[in-house]
Structure 1
Amino acid sequence: MRMTATGMLILMAGIFLLSGQYLDTHPAWGFVHAFAEAAMVGGLADWFAVTALFRHPLGIPIPHTAIIPENKDRIADTMAGFLRENFLTAPVVARRMRDMNLARGIGNYLADPNAEATSRVRAGAGELLVEVLESLDPDRLGGQVKAGLAAQLERMKVAPLLGQMLSAMVADDRHRPLVDSAIRWAGLVVEDNEDLIRTMIHERANALLRFTGLDERLASSVLDGLYRLLAEVLVDPNHPLRQKVEEGLSELARNLREDPELQARVEGMKNELLANPALGDWWQGVWERMRAGLIDMLKGGGSAALSGQVGDSLAEMGKALRDDARLQTQVNRFARRTAVGIATRYGGQIVQLVSETVKRWDSETVTSRIESAVGRDLQFIRINGTLVGGLVGVTLHLLGQLLV
């Protein structure tokens, strides 16, 4: 575009010189001469104006030229202030986010497994994830995660939480499968330890019972009674023993929520467990196995592993975001609050980063980047200035002819 605008200026200069030689031959040459003359003036004026924005015209340090390089710091501060006042304020961010259905857009993006862009994202995500996992220091990261979990657990009151969970389970009858499993487990324990139970009964029976052999019958009766009791409790949901168990669970849940002494004991047990080095070693091993297993999976299957497992999970999540209006509302509300919070807390730091970045650029970098962004349109100014100047010249020449 710069060559086009300069070429037009040179063309007007050639027409001006050529038409000046034929002014006496025909009146029309006067209009051509006036057009070319005024077009040169307009083109030169706009060339000077456009060039003066970025550099000194012809290298001559004329005052008020090279405006952008000379005022680089002021432009950076003005740009930062403009961003802060018009984009990174809480009302503006909230208004823009309120008009966006970000959750549905993300859902549509993730739910389409055949989209080329999504496939590239999934394939690239696998390679990126492998590089990140391999670059992490396992001991340091595992220690950081362990310390973070320990800090969160130390602040968390476990007893009331357990009480609420247990109360909810009892209220919704979700405890019954657990009670059934405990009864079956008790039956297996008795079955696996029949010999031990018989031996205990034999040892505690008196000599008369052992002499008459009644101790063996007593042991069999005890075992049969245990099996029968467990079977009755298992098949009868209204069995008194089961009701006693449920009453005990309800009482335990209430004490966990309300009894300070029990809460203190639970907190003490929690702190002892967290302070146990064996727990830290266990977590370190779990983290390292998770990391190594994920690396092996991604390396072994490449992008297909991510596409087949993580990718399917992403697609399912995308469908939920795309189709569930309530979930969209929750996600959009969370995203809006997050964006507003970031703008409120860190808006000043963001615009300061913009300002300091521009200030660190040298004058040539600032000039080249701004000129590459808007230079094409500025060359249109030169072209328009040449054409408009020519039309003004023709108009003035016509008025001069009419008034003479």
Structure 2
Amino acid sequence: MPPDKARRMRISATVMLVAMAAIFFGSHQVLGVNPAWGYVNAFAEAAMVGGLADWFAVTALFRHPLGLPIPHTAIIPRNKDRIADTMAEFLRSNFLTPVVVARRMREMNLAQAAGDYLATRGDTEQGRIRAGAGQLLVELLESLDPDRLGLQVKAGLARQAKRLDIAPLLGRVLETAIADNRHQPLIDSFIRWAGVALEDNEEMVREMVQARANALIRWTGLDEKLANSVLSGLYRLLAEIHVDPDHRVRIKAAEALTSLAHDLQHDAAMRAKVEQMKDDLLSNPAVSDWWMGVWERLRHALIDMLRNPDRVMSGQIGHSLAELGETLQTDTNLQVQINRFARRSLVGLVTRYGEQIVSLVSNTVKSWDADTITMRIERAVGRDLQFIRINGTLVGGLVGLSLHFLTEVM
């Protein structure tokens, strides 16, 4: 809750209380002038009492009213350790047990929810809960040891990757891309790469052609012309493939990709080969070093995204994320895979690190001083508590008015 909004509500509640006090003392001077002033006086008196009582109750939560050490006041600062333990127990009982997590994750479609969020990138309205959750994640990512956290995440991902049958997933992704004609940009990129590679290695190609030419061709000087012809033919072929979407080489490439997509899903030998490649890749020490660099960049990028969600969700990155969101919204098979992966990963994390997370929350709250915890809780709920003061003033006034009416008619 922004401090200015809470401050405005506190000022409004205080002004209302002062106004009721002024009306009470003012109307008390003219009670004999007209019976109606008795109703005004009764309303103001009861409203003033109700407002004062609720002011005392709200203030007593966070500090001593008027600085007086009255018993059972400054409740939150005096009981911050108990509050920390209660929060930790609440998390443990309701969120961080494997059975609870598994049951709730089965009822959720995280993939579709992520797709909805990414696809509606134009909606920049931030709710209090969403903003608070983002700030909490930022503080968590910044407070934990980056190296240790990176190793834990890497180990968790490696375990889940070993369980994940990746070949059918790759096959379905490739099959969907071909069906939507999204493989053409990949072919275009390969053609451009081949053209650049050929241009950078022209001399090597010339030497290869000349080395394989017989002595007669070299003696007549035709070897250089032959090398030029080979290079011209290769350049012409790449240009034709690039400009012709129906070129037979493109068609052959699409057929090969279609066959690969089918084999990834249905060929046991191909699936076993992909799984072996995955295991070899995961066990390679170079991958571990690469991952730690990626994780550090990812951590900083995630912190930046949580702090500046609107900036990240705009421009080319936002457009790409929106396309990913639309895919997550419509592809049910992909949703099933992602939801299953998320459920297993989260249950595994809770099983292994649930107690550590609970201890982290409890110890973090306990480490805050009284002023810090008071400020954070008051900032979060202070505006709502000022509504209690306003309601107490109005309800007290109505009760006083009703009682005055009853005493007059009886």
Q: Provide the TM-score with structure 1 as the length reference.
A: 0.49
